[in-house]
Amino acid sequence: MHKIVAQLLKGEFPEKEGLKELLSFPTHPAWEVLKQAARHVRKRYYGTDVYIRGLIEFTNICKNDCYYCGIRKSNQKAERYRLTLKQVLSCCKTGYRLGFRTFVLQGGEDGYFTDEKLCLYVAQIRKRYPDCAITLSVGERSRESYQKLFDAGANRYLLRHETANSGHYAKLHPSELALKHRMQCLSDLKQIGFQTGCGFMVGSPFQTLDNLIEDLEFLVQFQPEMVGIGPFIPHCDTPFADEPAGTLEMTVNLLSIIRLLLPKVLLPATTALGTIDPNGRELGILAGANVVMPNLSPIAVRKKYLLYNNKISTGAEAAESLADLKQRMERIGYQVVTSRGDYPKE
């Protein structure tokens, strides 16, 4: 165990068998050492700053049928919605006033959003908020489409790879979806010049420790600017309704490892982490995360973007939630900052 910890502290990818053993003891005292080291590395690049990203969940209509996801097309119980450009711009306006300098447009793979329509949304935000970053998270599209979105003014793209093992990928998705295509999308995004984010769910059904090690290897090889990980949480109207959720410990431990392996990465303490534990986001920050993504979507639609059961959604106005989040961060010695929070160049 000592050897593995020493390798991780140097930022080296550890010897696999040892790493597997360490991962199999999520409450081992070595994790405290790793968490502390992860905090230290995070402070080297980001001090105690926490970047905020305003999340706008602008459509829950999706053509895909991912087995884990509450907004999959087969879920007849999901109440579908799509935000108009006017509604999205109103979310941005509220967010900008509150100090958000990144807007994240996330949604299902909704055929309504042709390149033309989505580029219009991006271009209108870009025109009004030239000093803000625009992040998209709208799934798999063609390289040409990604290029058009980039040219329209989007800067960042989040596309979790979900799992780096194609056999595991096939257990989480129907056969129309393939890991190879997802990886192609990630590579296209990076080549086009997007700050690119990948990531995976922790504790997704059928996930093994070997799979997690493959995920970590992929991260090191791909060198993303952002990594989104959060626990898998079941949704009652999906094929995985009865599967157990991922754990807080495992997620937090993996955040630390990711910070040590990718020191400069932008790493959110995700909503899913805040959902499985009331202090999940704080514990994520204390494990090396440096980003939080409060919800800027209109209150009326928040409960409809239900990827998993009990997703935190206080029903509070964005201003109130942000004030709460600021306090939470201050209590643990960190502060929310108003800045774009780009990936550091040096």
Six token digits for residue 306: 């239900």
Q: Which residues contact 191 (CB under 8 A, 6 or more apart)?
A: none
Nearer of residues 146 and 308 to ligand SAM, judged by Cβ: 308
Nearer of residues 106 and 155 to ligand SAM, judged by Cβ: 106
CA torsion 204→208→214→218, rounded to 10°?
10
Contacting residue, 255, 307, 322, 329, with ligand SAM by CB under 6 A: 307
- Smallest gap from Cβ 327 to ligand SAM, in A, equals 26
d(CA 171, CA 178): 11
Nearer of residues 69 and 118 to ligand SAM, judged by Cβ: 69
Contacting residue, 38, 83, 105, 233, with ligand SAM by CB under 6 A: 233
Ramachandran assignment for 53, one of left (phi > 0), alpha (psi -120 to 50 degrees), beta (any other)? beta
d(CA 224, CA 221): 9
Contacting residue, 122, 232, 267, 280, with ligand SAM by CB under 6 A: 232
Six token digits for residue 205: 């059904």
- Smallest gap from Cβ 340 to ligand SAM, in A, equals 21
User: Total number of residues binding ligand SAM (CB under 6 A)?
Assistant: 19
103 binds ligand SAM (CB under 6 A): no
Contacting residue, 14, 95, 108, 274, with ligand SAM by CB under 6 A: 108
Six token digits for residue 299: 């209150």
The helix (H) or strand (E) run that includes residue 291 is strand 291-292
Residue in 221, 225, 88 with CA at minimum distance from that of residue 155: 225
Contacting residue, 160, 173, 264, 328, with ligand SAM by CB under 6 A: 160
Contacting residue, 139, 203, 280, 298, with ligand SAM by CB under 6 A: 139
Q: Quick one: which segment of 118-126, 132-140, 251-259, 296-304 binds ligand SAM (CB under 6 A)? A: 132-140
Q: Which residues contact 81 (CB under 8 A, 6 or more apart)?
A: 59, 60, 61, 301, 304
- Which residues face 115 on adjacent strands? none
Query: How many helices (H) and strands (E) would you count in the chain?
Result: 14, 9
194 binds ligand SAM (CB under 6 A): no
183 binds ligand SAM (CB under 6 A): no
135 binds ligand SAM (CB under 6 A): no
Binding interface with ligand SAM (CB under 6 A): 68-69, 106, 108-109, 137-139, 159-160, 162, 201, 230, 232-233, 235, 272, 307-308
